Amino acid sequence: MTARDAILSAIRAAAVPAAPPAHLPPTPTAPIDDLCDAFLRVLTEVGGQGVVRTDGQPMDSLIAELLGPDRQHAIVVRGRFAVAENAAVYVDAADLSARNDIVRAEHLVVIVPFSAIVPTMHEAMRLMPAHSACGWFLSGPSKTADIEQSLVFGAQGSRTHRVVFDRGT
């Protein structure tokens, strides 16, 4: 008997009684501006920085201004949507030239459509592409607290993490 068959038959022999799927708590809803405010507040708490681009601001100059001297070692990527409760932005590997861009970059900028902010991870899960090869929820820069629980940003991935909500037309 292969290991696979032995394991599967041991599981079936355990005869665990049926248990229903989880019932998800009801999802709170909120106006998009409130979601954006919540996102930006949490983003600051997790060590990131966020701005909203409005009509008339060219994206390039906004990013250049946002990055300042960090521009030299920055990678700008597209995010599909954002999650207000935890300041996570979803980035899919299909939008990157290399998967490790998101961690290799010293400074990361993620541009997300303003209209694509959802309240919690429940809605976020439904927005994930159905057949994504690889995707990330990124919330703030790389960090560690492994040395006496002192929070240090830029542990191994990006040192800084910036999110631009694109509200322009």
- Give whichever of 62 and 77 is closer to another protein, judged by the CB atom: 77
Interface with another protein (CB under 8 A), residue from 40, 63, 66, 86? 86
Residue 43 — left, alpha, or beta (φ > 0 → left; ψ -120 to 50 → alpha)?
Answer: alpha
| By the rule CB under 8 A, 121 interacts with another protein | yes
The answer to whether 59 and 166 are in contact (CB under 8 A) is yes
- Give whichever of 18 and 56 is closer to another protein, judged by the CB atom: 18
| By the rule CB under 8 A, 2 interacts with another protein | yes
Site for another protein in 43-72 (CB under 8 A): 46
* Nearest alpha-carbon partner for 137 in 78, 87, 88: 88
| By the rule CB under 8 A, 97 interacts with another protein | no
Three-state DSSP class for residue 108: strand
Residue 116 CB, nearest approach to another protein (Å): 16
CA dist 39 and 83 (Å) reads 7
